[in-house]
A and B are shown apart, each in its own frame.
Chain A
Amino acid sequence: MKPHAHKTTMHLDTTGFTPNLPRRHRVGRVWLWIFQASTIVGIVVLTTLLLNIIDGAFGYAAVESKVDPDTLAVDGVPLEDLPKEELLRILKEHVSAGLYRRLENDMPFEERTRQDVYTLVLERVVEPRVVKQWSLQDSVFRSAQIKAEAASTYPKAELQFRSWVNTQFIRSPQSARAESAGVRTAILGSLWTVGIAILFAFPIGVGGAIYLEEYAADNAINRIIHTNINNLAGVPSIIYGILGLAIFVRALEPLTSGTLLGYADPTTANGRTIISAGLTLGLLILPMIIINAREAIRAVPSSLRQASYGIGATRWQTVWHHVLPNAMPGILTGTILAISRAMGETAPLVVIGASTFINQDPNGPFAKFTTLPIQIYQWTSRPQDVFRNIAAAAIIVLVLLLLSLNASAIVLRNRFSRRLD
């Protein structure tokens, strides 16, 4: 709609004014275009990022098995539906006696579940190997060529459209073979470290913010503290890693390794544990939480404080019953941002000493750990192509995990805001 489509002149007295309304509207339109262009650039960048990840996480893969699983079917029952006894028989037939004994020693077959035995059969007998994989883009647009290429180059291989993110990928621990590697250990490690970081930083951060906003006098010392906290939020994360290494991994080693509390295996115990990583991430997000909580507390209208004081409430009652509940949505918004930040951090954890290869689930705060970003970083640096695909899959898992954590925090925040009005 153009406001000047047909002009009616209003014959107004403009003495002393230059008629400049068309020019002002023009300037406005130019700025509007600039703002729209900025938005479009942002959308394009985000879309490219998403497409790039999805491109690697789905697509055709040529899978070659040492033993065709179809030949293992018994009386027409396919391999994946066979009972445990049959699976055990197949395993015993195909692997060496020495390997069978070693597996028995690791854990008696009596105690193993059917699923476990099935996995063993897949790994040791069928041994599917991805010999070549294609990106999603190629898989969609060059499907015929890929099929021809696969048939001629890998006659023994089966071409399948594969989602690299799948339940097996999420459930399996790390493995040296990309085909059977998963992110279970990394997901658990990420949840543990971020959980500890929030448990550590949230109460301290909110407590500090309450003190600085509601109690501390406006004097030089407190202004210096204020400025310093703001600056801390801008310190590069690797420096927090070095701080964490010095304090938690080295200085507090007896505590963070768990030896002091009698939890750890003394032969392998060192300070490179989940608790060290969690506390380091906690230090990293502490300034963010303090700054956000202060803003939120400051935004609580002073009329509410006055109302509370006016009927004989103490400062603490005012803070606890009125200031905090009203500031909580804002505080939680800051915490959501902090969770995202902690979840995605890689550099400080590299310094702390996250394990790059670990296939045991973390069993507590004193366990060795790896996290999703560490796992992704490690996989992308592998020479084999297949690791790029599972890195893309792990990125999708990381993004989904982040979104679900944020969503639950947002639900919590909305519940708080609804309770207030």
Chain B
Amino acid sequence: MAMRIQSPNTEHSLSSNGTHAIEAHNLRVYYGNFLAVKDVSLDVPRQKITALIGPSGCGKSTMLRAFNRMNELVPTARTEGEILYNAVNIYDPDIDAVEVRRHIGMVFQKPNPFPKSIYENVAWGARINGYKGNMDELVFEALRQAALWDEVKDKLTQSGLSLSGGQQQRLCIARAIAVKPDIILMDEPASALDPIATLRIEELMQELAKQYTIIVVTHNMQQAARVSDYTAFFSLDERDRAGILIEYGPTKKLFTNPEKKITEDYITGRFG
């Protein structure tokens, strides 16, 4: 591999993006001939929670998946523009998507633990990525960080599928942080959970934001308002039904004093 992705811990303060964990520049994502995300530029600040909101089909999930090249798993998907991560374009032909995903992890809408033991769920990612340290310590620490340790410490050999939905989702978060990522992408992480489990996930996200950069897609505007520091509002371009970024800024400002009329209509529940 010609270029390697530098971990920010070793390569600090690259002048251009010292405060930005990741930057999208003029990103376009196509599915076949359909343009799903059009010309989106977005600078995501480091160690903050950035929420992507917007009506259904506005491309926010596609945008999220563009950040770790997960769209490539769809055979017809095609991406133009660039995403800079530590001053390296992750869409550069020399960059391996597998390496990108180790640094930019993902938590999905529906909890999807592996049908393996709780321990194995967390350890597997680290092991295949060549983790050399003490595996027990890593797994226990990841489970603690995911606020799951107290509930599972006595049943680490049980199947991950035996946990409740909320616990499964926290297990997925533990699995994501066990490979020591830099950024965690969350695709509606609480939409399949009950209100109490949702609350726990939200608390966990704020706890994790002290160490990680989090980008979260959510349909729940209260959730975006509650947990995020920055919010990006996406909508559809009336002419070609492509997803576009309407407005992006600190959450407080976007929810109290939006610049665009359409943003205000959306957050006050007039459409969407």
Residues of chain A whose beta carbon lies under 8 Å from any beta carbon of chain B = 217-218, 301, 303-314, 317, 321-322, 325-326, 420-421
- Which residue on B lies nearest to A311, using beta carbons? B125
* Sample (9) of A-B pairs whose CB atoms are under 8 Å apart: A301-B112, A307-B113, A307-B175, A310-B107, A311-B129, A312-B105, A317-B128, A322-B114, A420-B116
With an 8 A cutoff between CB atoms, is B98 at the interface? yes
Establish whether residues B115 and A421, one from each chain, have CB atoms under 8 Å apart when the complex forms: yes
Establish whether residues A304 and B114, one from each chain, have CB atoms under 8 Å apart when the complex forms: yes
A310-B124 contact in complex given A303-B112, A304-B114, A421-B161, C-beta closer than 8 Å: no
Chain B residues near A325 (CB-CB < 8 A) = 115
- Chain A CB count within 10 A is highest, among B125, B129, B178, for B125
Chain B residues near A310 (CB-CB < 8 A) = 68, 70, 101, 105-108, 176
Partner of A307, one of B75, B98, B114, B128: B114
With an 8 A cutoff between CB atoms, is B206 at the interface? no
With an 8 A cutoff between CB atoms, is B73 at the interface? yes
With an 8 A cutoff between CB atoms, is B102 at the interface? yes
Establish whether residues B179 and A312, one from each chain, have CB atoms under 8 Å apart when the complex forms: yes
With an 8 A cutoff between CB atoms, is B110 at the interface? yes
Residues of chain B whose beta carbon lies under 8 Å from any beta carbon of chain A = 68, 70, 73, 75, 98-99, 101-103, 105-108, 110, 112-116, 124-125, 128-129, 159, 161, 172, 175-176, 178-179
Chain B residues near A321 (CB-CB < 8 A) = 124, 128
- Complex Cα–Cα for A322 and B160 (A): 14
Shortest distance between the CB of B71 and any CB in chain A (Å)? 11
A-B contact count (CB 8 A): 72
- Which residue on B lies nearest to A417, using beta carbons? B115
- Complex Cα–Cα for A217 and B76 (A): 10
Chain A residues near B102 (CB-CB < 8 A) = 311-312
A305-B73 contact in complex given A310-B106, A312-B99, A326-B115, C-beta closer than 8 Å: yes
Shortest distance between the CB of B244 and any CB in chain A (Å)? 26
Shortest distance between the CB of A381 and any CB in chain B (Å)? 53
- Complex Cα–Cα for A313 and B125 (A): 7
Establish whether residues B112 and A306, one from each chain, have CB atoms under 8 Å apart when the complex forms: yes
Known A310-B107, A311-B176, A321-B124; 7 more pairs at CB < 8 Å: A217-B75, A306-B112, A310-B70, A311-B102, A311-B105, A312-B99, A326-B115
- Complex Cα–Cα for A326 and B112 (A): 14
Establish whether residues A312 and B101, one from each chain, have CB atoms under 8 Å apart when the complex forms: yes
Chain A residues near B161 (CB-CB < 8 A) = 421
Chain A residues near B70 (CB-CB < 8 A) = 306, 309-310
- Complex Cα–Cα for A304 and B68 (A): 17
Chain A residues near B178 (CB-CB < 8 A) = 311
Shortest distance between the CB of B217 and any CB in chain A (Å)? 14
- Which residue on A lies nearest to B121, using beta carbons? A307
- Complex Cα–Cα for A321 and B172 (A): 17
